[in-house]
Amino acid sequence: MPQQGLPPGNLTPHFTLHEFTASDTAAMRGINNTPTPAALAQLEQTAELMELVRAKCGANPVLISSGYRCPALNSAVGGASNSAHLYGCGADFTVPAFGSVLDVCHAIEPHLAEWGVDQLIYENAAWVHIGRAIPPSTTARHQCLTINSGGTYNGIVASVQPAEESATGGRHDRDQADDDVRPGRCRQGSGHEPEGV
């Protein structure tokens, strides 16, 4: 259940369910991206994690570009078959008022174990993916990765940026195999922003 005393629709003081379920792809294709009760319970925990991210980033608005994805939506966007997004355990986001995507990754990285983060991914120099362990597992891997057009790399690797970082943090629905990377397989709220951000 969401925290008591919150406005309707809020999972936490700064994050709404809508922020975690909004999807341009779902809207265009008529996909109902309503979370299951189990996914909703996970989204509440993911929103709590995002409150920690928001606080660490100077209490600046966090713009979620991709949160929960039902199986039809995950398939439509080409998401990984075991994506944390399917379970309500993942979010892709930016914090433009705090700094670049790389700045956000560097701010979060020291807290992976403390916050129980399974994966922190610097994706395409355009957004941050953060994921919690997918049920029934409760064991977080505390994994940091960089994914870009050149491949997947262990750690937050700034020197392999393929393009300029996005200053706007525009909505996307695809997370290039964010949750399908395992050690040994690697090559080396919010501001309650307008809908559709």
Query: Do residues 96 and 58 touch, judged by C-beta distance below 8 A?
Result: no
Check whether 167 has a pLDDT greater than 50.
Answer: no
Kindly report the pTM of this predicted structure.
0.80
The secondary structure element, H or E, covering residue 103 is helix 101-108
pLDDT of 2 reads 52
pLDDT in tens, 55-95: 999 999 999 999 999 999 999 999 999 999 999 999 999 99
**Would you state the structure tokens that stand for residue 46, as one six-digit string?**
């993911």
The secondary structure element, H or E, covering residue 53 is helix 37-56
Query: Do residues 90 and 118 touch, judged by C-beta distance below 8 A?
Result: no
Check whether 126 has a pLDDT greater than 90.
Answer: yes
Q: Is 72 exposed, middle or buried (0-12, 13-18, 19+ CB in 10 A)?
A: middle
Residues 6+ apart with CB under 8 A from 92: 64, 65, 66, 67, 123, 127, 128, 129, 172, 175, 178
CATH top class, domain 10-160: alpha beta
pLDDT of 135 reads 87
Check whether 123 has a pLDDT greater than 70.
Answer: yes
